[in-house]
């Protein structure tokens, strides 16, 4: 990365001292992640957001829903800053509050809503988290989805899982032993979700039809191809991948899990990793004694994670030094109240 920008980022961080706390998701670019005080998966970053109450400014190097969650979980006197406001998430955009309310109205009309516990993946907007909080549900991340589902099935007979159909399906089938036929996919663009009342009545998991376009690129062919090419390879994927990819993999877990699995792997072992490319490249660099490769042949960055680059980070930090607060992410008090209920339930999972 540009040495001039690196020096400017260092100088600004030093000038801000303890007033500044920088969080970085594992999918961030190398040039950015080097300035994070804490790196983590979505769960760890949600926990860590509240860890520095004395910091006036939390610069969130990640995507919009993560910064919103950090704002919800921190005090009003702490400003959460997203260095580029265009760093959204296409999956989070696949569930709008109006659509989810419509789905709930349908379930209510069918007399099913009282049996349903809603769960939203962290990768959703604050008003979806608020919906879930208002309806006695909770948030989950890829590192606690199994515990969240068990929590929900201890309280209801069905789960409405938003917005990632793959995380919902993979967790229900892999970790809870459900059949694929226990899951239905609700399409918000079709009347009735594209499902019959009987299908909704019989389903244990009602999966919102959302997905991650980055992880959606990995296919069963990617797994077969790497197994043919590299005998003995360990296939390790993120649970946002499609079900058939997860079913064919050797190990599945969150970004933090993937990092720990590589740390624990023996020298000489081979790993094909199905997740975002910045992380896979960093793992390859950190483990020269292992063969670490990307699961697919086509490259696969998360374009919105990549919006946060060194120029944006430097600009944000220098604005703070100059006494201005750029790109502050705020959630209105009512939404934040209900969303916090759902986030706190996740943070309290055993
Ligand atoms: P985790 O870091 O929680 O595994 O999430 C991956 C992701 O897609 C974040 O956008
Ligand atoms: Fe969203 Fe997928 Fe990017 Fe994560 S990797 S931020 S789920 S688009």
- CATH topology for the 3-88+305-332 domain: Rossmann fold (3.40.50)
Give residue 298's pLDDT.
Answer: 85
What pLDDT, on the 0 to 100 scale, is given for residue 153?
98
Atom from ligand 2 closest to the CA of residue 63: 6
What is the layout of strands, in order, in the sheet containing 205-208?
138-140, 116-121, 158-162, 205-208, 183-186
- In the predicted model, what is the mean pLDDT of the chain? 97
Burial class (CB in 10 A: 0-12, 13-18, 19+), 3: exposed
Question: Same topology for domains 92-212 and 215-294, yes or no?
Answer: yes
Residue 299 pLDDT grade (very low, low, confident, very high; cuts 50, 70, 90): confident
CATH code given to domain 215-294: 3.40.50.10800
pLDDT band at residue 284, thresholds of 50, 70 and 90?
A: very high
Query: In angstroms, what is the span from residue 214 Cα to ligand 2's centroid?
Result: 7
Compute, in angstroms, the gap from residue 26 CA to the centroid of ligand 2. Answer: 11
Residue 99 · residue 128 · CB < 8 Å: no
Sheet-wide strand order for 251-252: 251-252, 234-237, 270-274, 291-294
Range 139-167 average pLDDT: 98
Residue 331 CA to ligand 2 center (angstroms) comes to 21
CB distance 142 to ligand 1 below 6 Å: yes
Q: What is the pLDDT of residue 167?
A: 98
The answer, yes or no, to whether residue 171 has pLDDT greater than 90, is yes
Looking at residue 1, what is its pLDDT? 82
Ligand nearest the Cα atom of residue 211: 2
Mutate to test the pocket of ligand 1, among 65, 240, 251, 256 (most ligand atoms within 8 A of CB): 240
Class of CATH domain 92-212 = alpha beta
Report the pLDDT averaged over residues 157-173.
98
Is 239 flagged in the annotation as binding?
yes
Residue closest via CA to ligand 1's atom 2 equals 41
Note whether ipTM > 0.90 here.
yes
Check pLDDT > 90 for residue 75.
no
Nearest CA to ligand 2 atom 3: 302
- Measuring from atom 1 of ligand 2, which residue has the nearest CA? 89
The answer on whether 303 is annotated among ligand-binding residues is no
Q: Which of 70, 24, 13 minimizes the C-alpha distance to 339?
A: 70
Q: Using 50, 70 and 90 to split pLDDT, how confident is the model at 297? A: confident
Residue for token digits 């680059």? 309
Whole-Å CA distances, 19 to 12, 36, 59, 77, 331: 11, 14, 11, 12, 21
Counting other chains too, the contacts that 213-216 makes at CB distance below 8 Å and 24 or more residues apart are 213/90, 213/91, 214/240, 214/276, 214/300, 214/301, 214/302, 215/166, 215/240, 215/241, 215/242, 215/274, 215/275, 216/166, 216/241, 216/242
Check whether 257 is labelled as a binding-site residue. Answer: no
The predicted pLDDT at position 300 comes to 83
What is the 121 CA–ligand 1 centroid distance (Å)?
10
Kindly give the distance from the C-alpha atom of residue 4 to the centroid of ligand 2, in angstroms, as a whole number.
Answer: 30
Q: Residues 237-280: pLDDT tens digits? A: 999 999 999 999 999 999 999 999 999 999 999 999 999 999 99
Using CA atoms, how far apart are residues 146 and 258, in angstroms rounded to an integer? 17
| Mean pLDDT of all residues in 20-24 | 98
Q: Does the C-beta of 41 come closer than 6 Å to ligand 1?
A: yes
Tokens read off for 124: 């959703």
**Ligand 2 atom with least separation from CA of 89:** 1
**Number of continuous H segments (helices) and E segments (strands) in the chain:** 15, 13
SS3 content of the chain, % helix, strand, coil (to 5): 50, 15, 35
Domain boundaries, the chain: 3-88+305-332, 92-212, 215-294
């Amino acid at each position: 990365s540009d040495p001039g920008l690196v020096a400017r980022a260092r100088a600004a961080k030093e000038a801000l001292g303890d007033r500044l706390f920088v969080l970085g998701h594992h999918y961030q670019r190398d040039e950015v992640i080097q300035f994070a005080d804490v790196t983590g998966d979505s769960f760890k970053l949600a926990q860590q957001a509240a860890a520095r109450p004395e910091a006036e400014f939390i610069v969130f190097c990640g995507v919009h829903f993560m910064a919103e969650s950090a704002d919800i979980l921190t005090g009003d006197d702490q400003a959460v800053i997203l260095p580029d406001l265009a760093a959204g998430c296409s999956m989070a955009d696949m569930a709008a509050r109006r659509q989810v309310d419509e789905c709930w109205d349908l379930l209510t009309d069918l007399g099913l809503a009282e049996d349903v516990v809603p769960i939203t993946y962290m990768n959703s907007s604050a008003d979806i988290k608020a919906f879930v909080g208002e309806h006695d549900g909770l948030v989950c991340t890829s590192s606690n989805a199994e515990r969240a589902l068990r929590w929900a099935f201890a309280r209801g007979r069905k789960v409405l899982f938003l917005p990632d159909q793959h995380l919902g399906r993979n967790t229900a089938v892999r970790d809870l032993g459900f059949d694929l036929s226990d899951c239905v996919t609700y399409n918000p663009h079709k009347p009735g979700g594209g499902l019959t009342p009987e299908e909704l009545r019989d389903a244990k998991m009602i999966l919102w039809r959302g997905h991650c376009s980055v992880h959606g690129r990995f296919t069963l062919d990617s797994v077969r191809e790497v197994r043919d090419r590299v005998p003995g390879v360990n296939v390790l994927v993120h649970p946002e991948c499609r079900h058939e990819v997860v079913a064919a993999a050797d190990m599945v877990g969150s970004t933090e899990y993937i990092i720990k699995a590589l740390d624990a792997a023996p020298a000489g072992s081979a790993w094909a990793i199905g997740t975002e490319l910045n992380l896979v490249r960093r793992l390859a660099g950190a483990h020269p004694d292992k063969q670490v490769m990307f699961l697919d042949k086509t490259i696969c960055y998360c374009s919105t994670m990549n919006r946060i680059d060194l120029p944006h980070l430097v600009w944000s930090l220098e604005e703070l030094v100059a006494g201005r607060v750029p790109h502050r992410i705020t959630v209105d008090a009512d939404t934040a109240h209900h969303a916090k209920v759902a986030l706190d339930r996740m943070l309290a999972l055993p």
